[in-house]
Amino acid sequence: MTQPELPVFAANASQPGVPTVHSFSIKPVPAPVIRRAIAFVIDFGGTIALTVAVVWWCVALGFEGYDGGGRGGNGFFVVAGFLAIFGIPLGSVIVNVVLAHSRQYSIGKFLVRIRVVDARNHGRPGVGSLLGRSAILFVPGVFSALAVAVMIRFLLAVADGAEPTLGVGFIIVPVLWIVMLVPMLRGDRRGWQDKAAGTRVLTAASVRSV
C-alpha cells in the first residue's frame, strides 16, 4: 500500500533543537474495492431494509382488524406505508448527498473510513456530481435488491417442495456488477460513476480536511 509522505524537517536557526517543517504532502490512496463494496451495501442495503421494515409495519397496522368488507383497519397507516416506499429512499439519498458534500462521506463510507472527493482538486464534490453518481449506482442497486427478493422466493419454493425458477435476473445482475467493477480494478481505480461525476474515492487517511 502506498504510504503518505512524511514531513521534511530542517534545523531551526532561531530556536536550536526545534525542527522547522518545510513541506508536508499526502499521496492520494485509492480506496480498496472491498471497502467500497461494503460501504455500498451499508448505504443501499440499509435503505432497502429500513424501507421494507417500515412498509411492512405500516401495512400490518393498517389492515389490522380489516374484515374484507370495508370495515376495520386504519387507512392512515396504509397511506403512510405507501409513502414510505418513496420517502425513505429519497430521504436516504438526501442525507448521504448532504454528508458527502459537506464531509466527503456517506454513512457507509464513514464506517469503512473512505472518502469521496472531487477528482480535480481532491476537495468536496458538488451536489450535482453526487446526485449523478447516486443515479448511476441506483441501477445495479435496484437489480441487486430484486435479485435478493427472487432468491428468497426461490428458497421458499424449495422449502415448500415446489418447482423453483430463478429467471434471467441472475444473469443480468452479475454482468452489471462486472461492468461496474472492472474500471475500479484498473488505473486510477475510478468507476463509471466516478468518471461520469468527476469524483474519486480515497482512503480517509490520505484525504486532507478542506
pLDDT band at 2 (very low <50, low <70, confident <90, very high): very low
Neighbours of 87 (CB within 10 A): 13
- 147 or 85, greater pLDDT: 85
SS (H, E, C) the chain: CCCCCCCEEECCCCCCCCCEEEECCCCCCECCHHHHHHHHHHHHHHHHHHHHHHHHHHHHHHCCCCCCCCCCCCHHHHHHHHHHHHHHHHHHHHHHHHHHHHHCCCHHHHHHCEEEEECCCCCCCCHHHHHHHHHHHHHHHHHHHHHHHHHHHHHHHHHCCCCCCCCCHHHHHHHHHHHHHHHHHCCCCCCHHHHHHCEEEEEHHHCCCC
Q: Residue 101, class by beta-carbon neighbours within 10 Å (0-12 exposed, 13-18 middle, 19+ buried)?
A: middle
pLDDT at 11 over 80: no
pLDDT bin (cut points 50, 70, 90) of residue 158 is: confident
pLDDT digits (tens, 9 = 90+) for 98-148: 999 999 999 999 999 999 999 988 889 999 999 999 999 988 888 888 777
pLDDT over 50 at 203, yes or no: yes
Least confident of 4-13, 20-29, 79-88, 130-139: 4-13
Work out the average pLDDT over 170-174.
78
Q: Cα dist. 59→48, 73, 91 in Å?
A: 16, 10, 20
- Percentage of the chain modeled with pLDDT above 70: 79
Report domain extents, the chain.
30-183
Considering the chain, what is the average pLDDT of its residues? 81
Place of cell 525542527: 19
Q: Name the residue with higher pLDDT: 23 or 154.
A: 154
Question: Which pLDDT band holds residue 17 (cuts at 50, 70, 90)?
Answer: low
